[in-house]
Structure 1
Amino acid sequence: MKVRPRLLVISLVVAALASVAIGWAIARTGNTSGNGNGNDNGDTVIIDGTDGPLQPPSIETNAVVKGNPLPDVAVQTLDGTDVPLLSLVGQPMVINVWGSTCGPCKQELPDFAAAHLTFGDRVRFIGIDYLAPSDREEAFARDKGVQYELFYDTDGAFTNDVGIAAFPVTLFVNSDGIIVRQTGLLDEAAITEHIESDLL
């Protein structure tokens, strides 16, 4: 069968574009390993809003906010009530930003629960969930032993202001509302060490 040159050229162009699209999709879904620096692992959740080269999920993707005051934004309770974040300032505080779809977030929840029991009223622990408020999220955290306050970043104001792109994130905040340390995945020993060295 004779193929007209014009149709042949069009077919080749379409095939080339399809190959590029498939390769791009594979790159986005297949490149999910951590960078091996101890701050994250392959389950780290990353929000990819850039147009540049795709990078493995890394806590270094986040903005550096050490030394900054907490942003003047509101977080939400389970029933949707706004709570000004600055209204929670007044004592040393540990803010864990998490979500049940994030593997490392789920991994460290029991460690935060244990540390909270250890320090009691000396340090205020709060969790800020980047997912929408739901009974499921609340029950998930409670099932991991969490007894501290849980809030939600419903409109993304907190996450955006602090420059968070990869989770989990923990902020250690002094009684003046200044962020003195920011970290990725932690265990109970590391949480305790940071509280004792930076907050007490």
Structure 2
Amino acid sequence: MNRRLAALLVPVLLAVGGCTAGAEEQQEPGPSGRQGAAASRPSPFQDCSALGTPPASAPATPPGGGGQALPALTLNCFTGGAPVALRDLRGPAVVNVWASWCPPCREELPAFQRLSERAAGRLQVIGVNNQDGRESAQAIGEDFGIRFPVLVDQGESFKRALNRKAVPLTVFVDGQGRVRHVDSSGALDDARLAELVRRHLGVTVPA
């Protein structure tokens, strides 16, 4: 009875707070299995070639200095191509760290896709897929219609650099490439996400 109760509580606890998982538990089969099948399908995500270009209609950097520079890390793009140095990103940008095995991540991902559409040209929305298998991440992108660029962080280096342990994690980056706010409160909906973008990046998201 105790074992059954413990098994039932695990997904509930993951949904209530942030999600953590070990690398050993989240690896997908190699190229001969499901991971190879994912690699043979077109990626649902955009490529990362434009991440070093500021949004065409980006507003001025919001008042109030401070913030830290993005970590000096380089991550691979889910679609391939040249690796991306985080300090080369041009904001304003909203960086969402997610994983397919995290229920709050799946809950909030569609809101980030809508943000990328509503604020196109004014800010960038970027995903960082964390400790995940390629097949699982690609399936989420296909099922939820996620189109923004996604970087891959199997070693959790981005989270560690920000001194955070759980996902989802959302990082708000201004036009100078400085981190203005890090949110780890759980799944964000459209209204909360729009408020955080307005407050920390000075961008008003159309309804």
* 2:43 counterpart of 1:42: no
CA 1:99 to 1:46, structure 2 compared with 1: closer, same or farther past 3 Å? same
Letter in 2 for 1:163: N
* CA positional deviation for 1:179: 1.2
Give the superposition deviation at 1:47.
Answer: 5.0
Could you tell me which amino acid in structure 1 is paired with residue 153 of structure 2? Answer: D
Structure 1, residues 55-83: CA drift from partner, whole Å, max 9, x if none? xxxxxxxxxxx822210101112248521
Cα separation, partners in 2 of 1:144 and 1:108, compared to 1, 3 Å = same
**1:96 deviation in Å?**
0.2
Are 1:108 and 2:108 an aligned pair?
yes
Tell me the CA shift for residue 44 of structure 1.
Answer: 3.0
Answer with 1 or 2: which has the greater Rg.
Answer: 1
Counterpart residue number, 1:190: 192
TM-score (norm 1): 0.66
The 1:43/1:142 distance shift into structure 2, 3 A limit, reads: farther
**Higher helix fraction: Structure 1 or Structure 2?**
1
1:113 is displaced (CA, Å) by 0.7
Instruction: Tell me the equivalent position of 2:54.
Output: none
* Unaligned runs of at least 5 residues, structure 1: 1-22, 35-39, 49-65
Give, in angstroms, the shift of residue 188 of structure 1: 0.9
Which piece of structure 1 moves more, 102-111 or 77-86? 77-86
Amino acid at match of 1:85: L
Paired residues in the alignment total: 153
Q: Is the 8 A contact 2:99 2:132 kept in 1?
A: no
Q: Is the 8 A contact 1:109 1:141 kept in 2?
A: no
Structure 2 unaligned runs (5+)?
Answer: 23-65, 203-207
The residue type paired with residue 201 of structure 2 is: L
Matched, 1:178 2:152: no
TM-score for the superposition, normalised by structure 2: 0.64
The runs of 4+ residues in structure 1 deviating greater than 3 Å are 29-34
Q: Alignment RMSD, CA only?
A: 2.9
- Deviation at residue 32 of structure 1 after TM alignment: 7.5
What is the correspondence of 1:64-79 to structure 2 with a 5 Å cutoff? Answer: 67-78=67-78, 79=80
Q: Give the direction of change, closer, same or farther, for the CA distance of 1:47–1:154 in structure 2 (3 Å limit).
A: closer
Distance 1:186 1:136 in 2: 21
* Distance in 1 of aligned mates of 2:133 and 2:19: 18
